[in-house]
Chain A
Amino acid sequence: MKGIINSLWLIPALPLLAAGIIALMKRPQRKPAAALAIGSMALAFLVSCVAFVATLQPEAGKGAVQLTHNFAWFDLGGSALRLGWLLDPLTAGMLVMVTFVGSLIFIFSVGYMDHDENLTRFFGFLALFAAAMLGLLIANNLLFLFMCWELVGVASYLLIGFWFHKPSAAAAAKKAFITTRIGDLGFFLGIVWLYHETGTLLFYDNGAGCLEQGALTKLVTQTTVGGMAVSTAISLLLFCGAVGKSGQLPLHVWLPDAMEGPTPVSALIHAATMVAAGVFLVARVFPLMGAATADLGLEGHSPHTTALTVVTWVGACTAVFAALIAVAQNDIKRILAFSTVSQLGYMMLGLGVGGPAVGMFHLLTHAFFKALLFLGAGSVIHGSHHEQDIRRMGGLRKLMPITFAAYAVGMMALAGFPLVFSGFWSKDEVLHAAMIWSPSKLPFLLGLFGAVLTAFYMTRQMWFVFFAPRAESASSPGRAAHSASHHEPQGASSSPHESPRVMTLPLVILAVATVLLSLFATPVWPWFHAYLGGQLDHLQVGWSADSAAGLTMLLSVLAVALGVSASWRLYSRGKAGTDAVERLFPRLFRALQGRLYVDEFYAATVFRLNAAVAVLSDWADRFVWSSVVELAAWLAKGLAWLSRTLDESGINSGFDAGCVETRGAGGFASRLQNGQTQRYLRILGAGVVVLVVAIVWMGNN
């Protein structure tokens, strides 16, 4: 079983190979492309299961299974940069989840993208995404993780912009890429700094990795700007990457726009897997995040380091902020998108207050029920001819019964209905950990408030989509805003219909999984905690929680009840075609609908500043530097003119004078030889006389 580590690379390699082959296929080869992508993903799932089984048998007393396989990549100058794979419970759990959910979403796509002429390309991109995502999970090197992280971003860019003929999709793709890249800048600098300090980027390397004791001790003891420990500074830089990828405040703006992509993409990338990569990153480098000079944390609770405190607050604020906005959205996918942002906030909160097990369990359960919800939404959109505005749906409960049932399971899991839905247990754990977090109780209260809101907006959505009376031709103010999504030809008058089996089957499987997953992390049998912590052999069945757990559970049940009942009361009695909350608080509603104007704020500040600087630089280049060059040219020309003048009046005139004299001399000489014999004789005579005189004179001396 331990030999699996040497074949772990197969998991990302299989979809990558599929993506490569699909890239060479022609557009009409739709079926082979889909089959190849799904097949590779299913195989990857099988290998992942084997890897998962390998992590189930920890050696006694050694903690969690941790297998690594490292190799040199290239010479960095002095030392080699080494990459590697890592298999531990964190990786294995994620691998199984991604390949399982991924396979189902791939299958769903066959039905959903049936009418799209570029199905082949679509599956190529999906496979590429899967390869990158799986590579990210098995990385034992921060740099390799970052490389896959960027590749995932590329795939996401390509898939959001898949319908690039829609200007909104093209813009959303660009926005997603650039926004996450801003976070990645911090991530990248963190990597560079970490390498500078520790000389390695391997997570685990027999004691020499950057997440192991030696390196951590070094990082914790050094301080940098403002007395901050180097470990804190690096952690925060890495966290910037997570903030970007996981849509946390203040970089959440791209995720709702990313819903311009096809719905399976939203389910796979922007709900279940990629956006969770930020959470995974924090869990992965948790030893670094939680590193402190003296271990301040109590046994079983995470330490209160600066880095984790930041994670906690960012998570808590995001959870409430996004939930608030979700209340006032009308696009079925955007509600889910803001809900994703909000749930990612819960995961961060869980990591901050409770450590990897708490945050990661919510990640896993959320992946299942959010994929379920998105696919359900996809089924709704597909069935109602690409209508996405919930106010124009209604009554689908009877028309799409399977979708309705599955969606209801997802909705109840997300809202946190007690006992049989996994979302209840995972959210409860987050809240429980927040409740006993000693620095402040505010994150807990925020989390609880978020839970009320979650129940509220999900009930609202359920009401509009499945229960409200059908308002076929109600024209709503949101119409103009959604004109972009009407590119697809609409079936003229046919009523909504249930989706084909290839789409409903994944829904049912996900719904079952959502329920079953709740078995694994109850206070009665906290298997997941023990699994991540490597304490499976100590696992016992029995009530193991403290008194706070009971109270938390009670409060969270009350929160759900409050949210659901308030929402149901408001909406079931409201008039068709209007929004109850809008009537009650019109200004607040509009502000929320406008997403609290964060986008506008960025447009007015960051973008404008950037544009101004760019224009200024361009201007400088065109005028300042060009002027300098022109000036130099003019100076050169001036000098040339000066030289010419000098030449003509000074140097040349002397030369000319010399020439005149030479010519004069020449004229004189030529006059001597004018061909007249008399003159020759005269000269000859004179010469003889001169000669005689000279000889006589010399003879005398």
Chain B
Amino acid sequence: MLAWTLYISFAAAAAMFLLKPDSRQGARVLALVAALAGLAVGVVGAVQHSGGGLVTIQKLPWVPTIGAEYHLAADGISLTLVILTGLAAVVGILFSWNVEHRTREFFAFYLALIGGVYGVFLSFDLLLLFVFYEIAIIPKYFLIAIWGSTRREYAAMKLALYSFIGSAMVLAGLVAAYVVSGAQTFNLIELAKYPFPVAFQNWVFPLVFVGFAILAGLWPFHTWAPTGHSAAPTAASMLLAGVVMKLGAYGCLRVAMTLFPEGLATWRNVFGGLAVVGIVYGALVALTQRDFKFVIGYSSVSHMGFVLLGLMTLSTIGLSGAVLQMFSHGVIAGLLFGVVGRMVYDREHTRDLDELQGRRLGRAMPFAAVTFVIAGFASMGLPGFSGFVAELKVLIGAWQTFPKLAVIAGVGIVLGVAYTLRTVQKAFFSGDLEDVPGTPHGGHGAGEGTITLPEKIGAAVLIATTVVIGLYPKLLLDWIVPSFSTPLFDGLRKGGLL
């Protein structure tokens, strides 16, 4: 059932080229239908799946000579992220309803990216996972380079290079693991059982972990994130922050940590420390940015730091918190980028906060302002929103292992409030809003100013998601928590780490 998520996405991407080149509306509708179908399949599959245990979806021989298989499976972690991907895909399309330039190609790349992401989250064969991981990188490059804004080619290239360097590290590590184990298989579950020598783990673990974590914005390998996010078109930055960064964190958890638990034990303090540096550093840098998207970009670095910190706690509380934070950040960052990129930038043609300051956006676009305020509250981890539960779990987990780091991470939360409020007020609630109420200022024509229905639906969906999960996190946690008792995490448990 769940396998159809990726088939639908790839098929729809291919079907784009059956449309006439100028049929923009057709492309939009096709993309939306495909994304909705993917989301529906994901949700139905997830519900049928209840329990969060590991279930195989499909297992066929692929390259028999080296033992690679077409092996799709899912546990609660996959399910959570598959649903996140579906949501982000749907909302991203709603927020790109106004793409007029080569619409067909845009959505083809978009759906290919989505398909690749679904593939990564469902693959339990390392080679297959790696292939999907690469598939996801290529459309990303084109989305930014063709439809992007500020320094788009530079940003696209930077992102692609970072991704490929990461991939190269991952590939090297995986091949090494394959050879050393001598098991003639890429099956993750089989390989996770193999006791790799400690000395080997000590150098392969950081290789693979960093390789994946580059994409998760691990400090100091994060510099692709702000430039990439801000250059990307709205939907692409929503996907980039919402889903692609999760690919990295997912890889860290799914591959690096399960295969090399002893290497993890050696390196966990280092990466825990880097995660916390990322939390505080990202928040600090966000505090001084002038570009609206850079603020969100750096806030993503900060929030992903919580994911990485959660992973390093190695307790069920912290790990499930990290997965929940992946989901939560995906939704909230998507919403923030949606407001900035679609609602503000597409209408105002600037993201410079100092310039926006005088434009009375709170009056000109109240819907965008209210949405951003809510998203901002969610982003700063206020109770009632999903981020609170996630960060709470991460911090409780972190307190048990590294209390000092937990304190520093807490400082990051306070800074989060500071940069969010600064941005909210600069962008929307400053300038003299008193005179001539209701009249839009010059700069854009009539009609362009009003927020369209697709945007409203998209924003409402994301807000509803973060509130529902914030009030009733059980929905996801009932999947996530049991995942950590599957055989895959035996290695961590045996070492007494989990």
Contact = CB atoms under 8 A, between A and B. Distances in A.
Interface of A: 73-78, 143, 146-148, 150-151, 154, 157, 161, 164-165, 167, 170, 174, 177-178, 181-182, 184-185, 188-189, 192-193, 195-196, 487, 610-611, 613-615, 617-618, 621, 625-626, 628-629, 633
Contacts of A73: 473-474
A78 B400 CA distance: 14
Interface in B309-334: 315-320
Contacts of B320: 77
Contacts of A615: 288
B440 interface: no
Contacts of A617: 281, 284-285, 288
A608 to B, nearest CB: 13
Which residue, A74, A78, A143, A165, has most C-beta atoms of chain B within 10 A? A74
Interface in B285-323: 285, 287-289, 315-320
B388 A147 contact: yes
A192 B413 contact: no
Contact of B473 (A74, A148, A613, A633): A74
Contact of B317 (A78, A170, A181): A78
Interface stretch (B57-65, B179-187, B416-424): B416-424
Contacts of A148: 383
Contacts of B417: 177-178, 181
Interface stretch (B2-10, B90-98, B144-152, B391-399): B391-399
Contact of A614 (B288, B362, B433): B288
Interface string B461-476: 0000000000011100
* 7 shortest interchain CB distances as A-B pairs: A147-B383, A77-B316, A77-B317, A614-B284, A165-B433, A617-B284, A74-B474
Interface string B374-411: 00010000111000110011011101100100110011
Given A77-B481, A154-B382, A185 B413 contact: yes
A164 B362 contact: yes
B451 to A, nearest CB: 17
Contacts of A182: 414
A76 B315 CA distance: 11
Nearest to B281: A617
Given A77-B315, A614-B285, A174 B474 contact: no
B252 to A, nearest CB: 19
B425 A487 contact: no
A151 B383 contact: yes
A165 B400 contact: no
Contacts of A613: 284
A167 B382 CA distance: 25
Given A76-B393, A614-B284, 20 more contacts: A73-B474, A74-B477, A75-B474, A75-B481, A76-B317, A77-B317, A147-B384, A151-B384, A154-B382, A174-B421, A177-B421, A181-B413, A181-B414, A193-B399, A610-B418, A611-B288, A615-B288, A617-B285, A625-B220, A629-B158
B430 interface: yes
A183 to B, nearest CB: 10
Contact of A165 (B318, B388, B432, B478): B432
Contact of B430 (A167, A188, A625): A167
A192 B396 contact: yes
B223 interface: yes
A74 B223 contact: no
Contacts of B434: 165, 487
A164 B474 contact: no
Contacts of B223: 621, 625-626, 629
Contacts of B383: 146-148, 150-151
Interface in B44-58: none
Contacts of A621: 223, 226, 285
Given A77-B317, A177-B421, A164 B288 contact: no
A193 B406 CA distance: 10
- SS of B interface (majority): helix
B396 A189 contact: no
Contacts of A147: 383-384, 388
A196 B389 CA distance: 16
B482 to A, nearest CB: 9
Interface in B206-244: 220, 222-223, 226
B429 interface: yes
Nearest to A72: B474
Interface of B: 158, 161, 220, 222-223, 226, 281, 284-285, 287-289, 315-320, 362, 377, 382-384, 388-389, 392-393, 395-397, 399-400, 403, 406-407, 410-411, 413-415, 417-418, 421-422, 425, 429-430, 432-434, 472-474, 477-478, 481, 484
Nearest to A164: B429
Which residue, B315, B362, B406, has most C-beta atoms of chain A within 10 A? B406
A77 B393 contact: yes
Given A74-B477, A196-B400, A617-B285, A178 B421 contact: yes
Nearest to B424: A174
B225 to A, nearest CB: 10
B430 A170 contact: yes
A83 to B, nearest CB: 11
Given A146-B383, A164-B433, A174-B421, A154 B377 contact: yes
A628 B287 CA distance: 23
B284 to A, nearest CB: 4
Contacts of A164: 362, 425, 429, 433
A78 B498 CA distance: 12
19 contacts: A77-B317, A78-B316, A143-B392, A151-B382, A154-B377, A164-B433, A165-B434, A174-B425, A177-B421, A185-B410, A185-B414, A188-B413, A192-B406, A487-B434, A614-B284, A618-B288, A625-B222, A626-B223, A629-B223
A193 B288 CA distance: 32
A613 B425 CA distance: 22
Given A150-B382, A177-B417, A75 B285 contact: no
A610 B220 CA distance: 21
Which residue, B223, B388, B472, has most C-beta atoms of chain A within 10 A? B223
Contact of B472 (A74, A625, A626): A74
Nearest to A180: B417
Which residue, B220, B382, B417, B481, has most C-beta atoms of chain A within 10 A? B417
Contacts of B287: 610-611, 614
Contacts of B315: 77
A184 B484 CA distance: 32
Contacts of B484: 77
Nearest to A149: B383
Given A75-B481, A618-B285, A188 B399 contact: no
A189 B413 CA distance: 11
Contact of B477 (A75, A189, A610, A633): A75
A611 B419 CA distance: 11
A178 B388 CA distance: 17
B432 to A, nearest CB: 6
Nearest to B287: A614
Nearest to B324: A74
Contacts of B407: 189
Nearest to B298: A621
A306 B432 CA distance: 50
Contacts of B377: 154
A185 B281 CA distance: 18
A374 to B, nearest CB: 25
B411 A185 contact: yes
Nearest to A169: B429
A170 B425 contact: yes
Nearest to A175: B421
Nearest to B410: A185
B285 A192 contact: no
